[in-house]
Amino acid sequence: MAQIFHPSTNTFARATIFGAAFILAGAAAAGGMFVRSSYVTQVDVVRDQPVPFSHDHHVSGLGIDCRYCHTSVEKSSFAGIPSTEICMGCHSQIWKNSELLAPVRESFRTGQSLQWTRVTDLPDFVYFNHSIHIAKGVACESCHGRVDKMPLMRKAHAMHMEWCLECHRHPELAVRDKADVFKFGIGEEVSQGNPPEIIFGKPNSVGGVGETLEPGRTDAEGQDTPKYASHGEELVKRYGIVTKQLTDCAICHR
Amino acid sequence: MSDQANKSAGLELPTIRSRVAGTTGPQFWRSLEEAAQSPEFEQYLHREFPMQASEWHDPASRRNFLKLMGASLALAGVSGCTSPPPEKIVPYVRAPEELVPGRPQFYATAMPQGGYGLGLLVESHMGRPTKVEGNPEHPASLGATDAFAQASILTMYDPDRSQTIFRRGIIETWDAFVTAITREVEKFRENRGAGLAILTETVTSPTLANQLQSLLADLPEARWYVHEPAGNRNAREGALQAFGRDVDVVYNFRQANVVVSLDSDFLVGLPGSVRYAREFIDGRRVSVDAGRMNRLYVAESTPTVTGAVADHRVAVRPSQVESIARSLLAAVRGEAAQVADNGSADWWVATAAKDLRENQGAAIVVAGPGQPAAVHALVHAINEAIGARGRTVNYLEPIAARPAQEGATLADLAEELHAGKVDTLVMLGSNPVYTAPGEVNFTEALSKARLRIHLGEYYDETAFLSDWHIPAAHYLESWTDLRAFDGTATIVQPLIAPLYEGKSAHEVISVLAGNPGRSAYEIVQEYWQGRLGEQDFDRRWRKAVHDGVIPETEAQTVNVQLSDALAGANATSGGSQLGDGTVEVEIRPDPTVWDGRYANNGWLQELPKPMSKLTWDNVAYISLPMGERMGLNNGDVIEVTIGERAVQAPVWLMPGQPDNVVSLTLGYGRSRAGRVGTDIGYNAYKVFPAQGAWFAQGKIGYTSQKKLLATTQSHWSMEGRDIVRVTTVDKLRQDPKHLWEGEHGHGELPSFYPDFDYSKGNQWGMVIDQTACIGCNACVMACQSENNIPIVGKEQVSVGREMHWLRIDRYFVGDPAEADVETYFQPMMCVHCEKAPCEVVCPVAATVHDSEGTNNMVYNRCVGTRYCSNNCPYKVRRFNFLQFSDETTPSLKLMRNPDVTVRSRGVMEKCTYCIQRISHARIDAKKSGDGFVPDGEVVTACQQACPTRAIVFGNLNDKQGEARKLKHSPLNYGVLAELGTQPRTTYLARVANPHSDLPGPKAANPHEHVAEKDKAHS
């Protein structure tokens, strides 16, 4: 009986068996890239909103504080979306005939709420609390990015759990002075040339504005040995952040 | 299923008795199966679920199964490729001033229970009421609640509630109703209301009473009738006999050293019970200081929770209670000759009387609402004789408003209807077609009226037979006012606008009074404008609404004079004699669905009854010897006949039940309750006496049927040393450490696992006082409400899949055949082991320790291996075998606690120590300080609901904390601590206070108990 397979099939078989490893690895890599792609994570995707509200204009242009509109960000888990009344506080005086603001006036007149589309949405089994992050020196821009540079609102980070854990494991890299929590662009002057977002793993990129000092050394003016390796660690201590507790599952999941 | 139904068929009393008698030491048993060590029980003990319970019972074939699986796999692939649908954020147009989005608000209101108000604080999340708590300022609540109040939130969101106005089954509008009735009203104005009858339940609302009275003043020929199915008619008549006038009785248990209950379940069954339970238990709290402890004597028939906490309980036929009351009266008056022979209760009567006499002015005797008027009158005489009046017992002006005319009962109304004297019948919030006693024959009577108007929360039996049905607003949806058991008035404020077209009784009466278009708010406010005073009214009104109590509205104390007829009461009979084949049948409201008004509440239906642990059914309780004599076993259906009427009920052999007494409960057998409560159980109203006592002589007969009953008493059985520990207060005083003889303190056992460091920050712990636990189930309901716990239905309960995180284990001690078995309650939920067996076996680390000592369950990580549950010696983990949480019904979505994940199929869950509450408190503490949460800042849902404060939770690192203090009580022990689990929830041993003349609890003296048995055997 003649052989069913031609000898060249052997080569083909070897190639496929050997290649399978690459194919599987490639598929895994593609899968990984896919779930991290903005198609899935919706990062930088602008959503349709009833009014094309510009954070760029209101924050950078007019200098309005975050808390003017997001009123409960220091008190509650939810930062708060402004009521129509807050919009109308100004827009009954300025731009009061603007076509773009017609839905706001309509809402105010009829008593029907504006319906915004959520841009940053965590899964329902994650219980995120804005107020405690604000109270412990985590800035708005740490999670929401350079909102002051966003003419239309978009998500700045994928908000994967590993990303949350980077701070929860190393809060000293993320906390800043409470006075700077609502400010934007802090720390960028230190890391010139980097994209305008927080880079983890680099001491002081956010927490330490200014000079880095290793323990056991004196600074330029011959002052005492600093207590902390970085400003961030000092802040962690000052704010009473218990790092070990931050990775308890029940901190976010319940 | 049939295996389940027949599982107790092999039980024989002699076997059980010999097994129980043969063991050494007190044997705690939960069910007859356990007492007999039957194979069925072994299964519950060694397996988590009975054999085959994990099989798929659905009739779906394998082919269907594969089809479904194929589809779900395909869909799983698809759903993985998309991101969740975009969510909307809908802000306010004008934000309310006080509201911070994401933080709950609490509003004071009150819940009507049998007409009386229980003061509440209701948690609201952005306009959605989600959880009910007690109002600490309210005299009936003192901050606690009962199971009914906790479950009322489900009724409010019940999708089966009546949603629209019906005229003979056709949907109508409120305007059409107003127009139609206004025409009738004109007619009644002409004939002074002749032919108009109004039927209400107990009315304590001052505004409604005022409206009714002014309506009746306008229409003097109109009649008002009151029907409260499980009301206090006997107590009222008793007061009339004793004092010649109507009074309400209130008790001050805090001052009482001795309490005698004559068939009264006063810890759960009365309008003031939540407060009474607190005061009574406060008088027996010996965990830290064993100085003073009250003593409770109970004479009752079917076992109740009050009987279970008694120091001396005697089981008697209900008709024997009168003789016991007479004997007690004679004995406390020192007329020994008058003391009748009460058989086995003689010792009880003698000792109770002695104790009452020694505690003049510090004792209370309470009569049960089911006892005839004569017993109530006798009890008034006893209380007078022991100097209770003005000290421990007070008589008040009646709280409930009543019709002026004589004869205002449902039976009188039926008579008038039959006589054709009622043209128009208005039924407000009552369901008489279902709740009318059989002998009244109300259904036929109702057909005699020309126009029938019904206001009710459900389209129920009465609504079906009415011309007009108006959906009633739930108490959380409408303005009204209520008075508590002591008369204190509360403005009932709504937490939400009516979900459906609910109207209140105020609005309906207002239409009848020819005044349509007025809202309940206007009506209630106008009434109080006259009472609180015009001057500064706005402020006073706001304060009254805010506080939930209106000051100085308590009922006036009445100075009563005992009538001469009772001065010399003769003791005669020892209870009615039972003829051949005759038994005594007693009927009482059901402990979980009460008189049937909560029948469509799934939480309450699935709530195990405190004593029998049955769910989803009512039964006929009989004693074991009676069952053996008659060849009846659990689930056998018998026919119970009183007079000419009969009901068919499944039998339940109840340890502690007196012989020859059949106990039935009301509330079931509904034909139109809704999809939850319809057609389950039997309707005991058919044989409920229309007048007088709630018991009568009857006969029982056999049927060939058998019914599956779902009881949880054997579920989650534990095995180990001294799970329940019992002692007496005398022993505690002599040697506080005696419970620890030969015992290693828990926490001293070596462990292979590393220790956690809790020296800084918080660490949580709980102590449960078994002396204080009355088994009332308030905690179970509170937990269900707080933690979004689903119900599973009767079939699933019967295979042990109920989801309650918190269960109350009920243990018996003693010979199951004797009526003197002792009952012990032990609330059991995750004890948050420091060395937790569940944590080390989870392959995906879905259950882990946190740095404050709690054992967390991470739902999103759980893959459902159930190893944790297999490894839990306390059997407190619950698995979602099916999709138990209803994720589709819109109204139920509103009800859920937004701070707790709604779990889906395939996920394990368990008590979390209310981690959401801990989390809120911790965040607040970290924002304002160093994160230290002082004791008392975190109150768990079960702790908050508990009327007796049996559950204490707190920060063990707080040196001033109560939980920490109780952990050092000599009564403190860890259940199964011998396993080295180091439970964070520990228990305080149950302490009894027996009288020295009588034997103490069998459970308290293991060695003596064994000796006695040895004597008996030799």
Q: How does pLDDT run across B819-864, given as a tens digit for each residue? A: 889 999 999 999 999 999 999 999 999 999 999 999 999 999 999 9
Average pLDDT of the segment spanning B476-489: 94
Burial status of residue B245 (CB atoms within 10 A of its CB: 0-12, 13-18, 19 or more): middle
Query: What is the per-residue pLDDT for B474?
Result: 94
Q: Which residue of chain A is at minimal alpha-carbon distance from B81?
A: A40
The answer to whether the CB atoms of A250 and B854 lie below 8 A apart is: yes
| Residue B765 φ/ψ, nearest 5 degrees | -160, 160
- Phi, psi at B482, each rounded to 5°: -145, 155
A160 chain-B contacts, CB cut-off 8 A: none
pLDDT digits (tens, 9 = 90+) for B337-388: 667 777 778 889 999 999 999 999 999 999 999 999 999 999 999 999 999 9
**Mind listing the pLDDT tens digit for each residue in A56-70?**
999 999 999 999 999
The distance of A78 to chain B (nearest Cα, Å) reads 5
What chain B residue is nearest to A49 in terms of C-alpha separation?
B88
Q: Which of residues 211-230 of A touch B (CB under 8 A)?
A: none
pLDDT-above-90 percentage for chain B: 62
- Nearest neighbour of B101 by CB, restricted to A40, A78, A245: A78
Looking at the fold, whether B785 and B839 belong to one and the same domain comes out as: yes
Of A114, A117, A136, the CB nearest to B91: A114
Residue B680 resides in a domain: yes
Q: Which of A114, A245, A247 to substitute to test the interface with B, most B CBs within 10 Å?
A: A245
Does B764 share its domain with B896? Answer: yes
CB proximity A37 to B under 8 Å: no
Cβ contacts of A161 on chain B, cutoff 8 Å: none
Asked whether residue B86 is assigned to any structural domain, the reply reads: no
More confident residue, B17 or B385: B385
Residue B1011 confidence (pLDDT): 39
Using a CB-CB distance cutoff of 8 angstroms, which residues of chain B are in contact with residue A71? 95
Residues B728 and B866 in one domain: yes
CB contact under 8 A, A254 and B899: yes
Domain annotation covers residue B77 = no
pLDDT exceeds cutoff 60 at B402: yes
Looking at residue B36, what is its pLDDT? 75
Q: How far is CA A112 from CA A103, A109, B93, B238, B251, in A?
A: 10, 8, 7, 59, 53
* Model confidence at B919: pLDDT above 50: yes
Looking at B711, B728, B758, the residue that finishes a domain is B711
Q: How confident is residue A194, by pLDDT bands cut at 50, 70 and 90?
A: very low
Q: Which of A40-44, B481-485, B612-616, B750-754 bottoms out in mean pLDDT, i.e. has the lowest?
A: B750-754
Q: Work out the minimum CA distance from B93 to partner chain A, whole angstroms.
A: 5
pLDDT at B417: 92
pLDDT at B248: 92
Residue B367 shares a structural domain with residue B463 = no
Closest to B591 (Cα-Cα) out of B302, B351, B323? B302
Q: What is the pLDDT of residue B1018?
A: 38
Is A21 in the B-facing interface, judged by CB distances under 8 Å?
A: no
Whether residue A68 lies within 8 A of chain B, CB to CB, comes out as no
The lowest-confidence range among B70-84, B547-561, B925-939 is B70-84
Q: Are residues B640 and B649 in contact, defined by beta-carbon separation less than 8 angstroms? A: yes
Tokens, residue B286: 């010996």
Q: Which residue has the tokens 């389940």?
A: B4
- B91 — contact with chain A (CB < 8 Å)? yes
Tell me what the mean pLDDT of segment A143-158 comes to: 91
Cβ separation A254–B760 shorter than 8 A: no
Contacts of A123 in chain B (CB under 8 A): 84, 860
Average pLDDT over residues B312-322: 92
> B986 by DSSP, 3-state: which?
strand
Predicted pLDDT at B1007: 44
The CA-based diameter of chain A, rounded to the nearest angstrom, is 96
Instruction: Give the closest of A83, A136, A245 to B851, CB-based.
Output: A245
CATH code, domain with B862: 3.30.70.20
Q: Tell me the percentage of chain B whose pLDDT exceeds 70.
A: 90
Whether the predicted pLDDT of B54 surpasses 60:
no
- Are B828 and B813 members of one domain? yes
Considering the domain boundaries, does residue B236 fall inside one?
Answer: no
Q: Are B391 and B418 in a shared domain?
A: no
Domain that holds residue B735: 2-51+714-992
* For A40, nearest residue in chain B (alpha carbons): B83
pLDDT for position B760? 86
Contacts of B94 in chain A (CB under 8 A): 83-85
What CATH number does the domain containing B620 carry?
2.40.40.20
Q: What gap in Å lies between CA B158 and CA A190, rounded to an integer?
A: 60
* Same domain? B602 vs B674: yes
List the 73-132 stretch of A: residues with Cβ below 8 A of B: 75-78, 80-86, 107-108, 111-118, 121, 123-125, 127, 129, 131-132
The pTM assigned to this predicted structure is: 0.89
Q: Over range B395-401, report the average pLDDT.
A: 92
The predicted structure's pLDDT at residue B1014: 41
Record: contact A85-B92, CB cut-off 8 A: yes
Contact residues, chain B, for A253 at CB < 8 Å: 856, 858-861, 901
Which of B677, B711, B745 finishes a domain? B711
Within 8 A by CB and 6+ apart from B460, the residues are B431, B433, B434, B670, B672, B673
Give yes or no for residue B451 having a pLDDT over 80.
yes
Q: Classify residue B739: in a domain, yes or no.
A: yes
Q: Mean pLDDT, chain A, as a whole number? A: 82
Q: Which two tokens stand for residue B835?
A: 């060395």
Spell out the alpha helix ranges (H) of B787-914. Answer: 794-798, 837-841, 867-870, 890-895
* Residue ending a domain, choose from B118, B148, B178: B148
Write the residue in A86, A131, A248 that is nearest to B850 by C-beta.
A248
Report the relative pairing of strands B116-125 and B128-134 from DSSP bridges. antiparallel
Indicate if the pLDDT at residue A113 is higher than 70: yes
Q: Has residue B242 been placed in a domain?
A: no
Does the CB of B931 have a partner CB in chain A at under 8 Å?
yes
Q: What is the pLDDT of residue A234?
A: 86
Considering only residues B56 and A239, tell me which one the structure prediction assigns the higher pLDDT: A239
pLDDT of residue B128: 93
Q: Taking 80 as the threshold, does the pLDDT of residue B571 lie above it?
A: no
A121/B84 touch (CB, cutoff 8 Å), yes or no: yes
d(CA B248, CA B262): 18
Annotate B864-879 with DSSP letters as a single string.
---HHHHT-TT---EE
- Residues in chain B with CB shorter than 8 Å from the CB of A175 are none
Q: What is the mean pLDDT of chain B?
A: 87
Is A125 in contact with B760 (Cβ distance < 8 A)?
A: no
The tokens for A247 are: 């990775």
CB-closest option in B84, B94, B899 to A85: B94
In this predicted structure, the answer to whether residue B580 has a pLDDT above a threshold of 60 is yes
Q: Mean pLDDT, to the nearest integer, of A84-104?
A: 92
Q: Where are the alpha helices (DSSP H) in B461-504?
A: 461-464
Domain count within chain B: 5
Confidence of residue B1006 (pLDDT cuts 50, 70, 90): low
pLDDT at B63: 55
pLDDT of residue A209: 38
Tokens of B605: 């239906």
β-pair partners for B455? B428, B470
Q: Are residues B375 and B409 in the same domain?
A: no
Residue B79 placed within a domain? no
pLDDT band, residue B1016 (cuts 50/70/90): very low
Partner-chain contact A253 B83, CB within 8 Å = no
What's B739-760 look like in SS3? HHCCCCCCCCCCCCCCCCCCCC
- Cβ <8 Å between A84 and B912: no
Tell me what pLDDT residue B750 has. 78
Cβ atoms < 10 Å from Cβ of B414: 25
Q: Which residue has the higher pLDDT, B36 or B773?
A: B773
Q: Is the pLDDT of residue B982 over 80?
A: yes
**Could you tell me if A136 lies within 8 Å of chain B, comparing CB atoms?**
yes
Q: State the Cα–Cα distance between residues A46 and A150, nearest whole angstrom.
A: 10
User: B177-213, pLDDT tens digit by residue?
Assistant: 999 999 989 889 889 888 899 999 999 999 999 999 9
Mean pLDDT of B608-622: 94
CA angle B304, B305, B307 (to 5 degrees): 65
CB-closest option in B100, B916, B930 to A75 = B100
Encoded tokens for A46: 């602008």
- How sure is the predictor about B669, in pLDDT bands with cuts at 50, 70 and 90? very high
Return the domain boundaries, chain A.
55-81+116-217+225-252
Question: Residue B615 region, left (φ>0) first, then alpha (ψ -120 to 50), else beta?
Answer: beta
Question: Is B114 in the same domain as B170?
Answer: no
Alpha carbon B922 to chain centroid, angstroms: 32
Amino acid type, B301 = S
pLDDT for A191 beyond 80: no
pLDDT of residue A218: 45
| pLDDT number for residue B12 | 67
d(CA B606, CA B804): 9
Q: How far is B597 from chain A (nearest CA, A)?
A: 34
Query: CB A250 to CB B94 under 8 A?
Result: no
Q: Return the number of CB contacts < 8 Å for A and B.
A: 132
How far is the C-alpha of B735 from the C-alpha of B723, rounded, in Å?
21
Q: Is the pLDDT of residue A201 over 50?
A: no
Q: Is the pLDDT assigned to residue B1012 strictly greater than 80?
A: no
Q: Do B850 and A250 touch (CB under 8 A)?
A: yes
One domain, residues B705 and B718: no
Kindly report the backbone phi and psi dihedral angles of residue B663, in degrees, each rounded to the nearest multiple of 5, phi listed first.
Answer: -110, 125
**Taking residues B250-269, what's their average pLDDT?**
93
Residues in A touching B86 (Cβ below 8 Å): 47, 117-118, 121
User: Residue A78: its chain B contacts at CB < 8 A?
Assistant: 101-102
- Which is more confident, B44 or B966? B966
Please indicate, yes or no, if residue B74 is contained in any of the structural domains: no
Q: How confident is the model at residue B998 (pLDDT cuts 50, 70, 90)?
A: confident
Q: Are B764 and B854 in contact (CB under 8 A)?
A: yes
Tokens at B423, concatenated: 């043209």
Best mutation site among B926, B930, B938 for testing chain A: the one with the most A CBs within 10 Å?
Answer: B926
Instruction: Provide, as residue numbers in chain A, all residues whose Cβ is less than 8 Å from the Cβ of B89.
Output: 81, 115-118
Q: Does B70 touch chain A (CB under 8 A)?
A: no
pLDDT category of residue B5 using cuts at 50, 70 and 90: very low
Q: What is the mean pLDDT of residues B313-339?
A: 87
Over residues A20-26, mean pLDDT: 91
B843: closest CA of chain A, how far (Å):
16
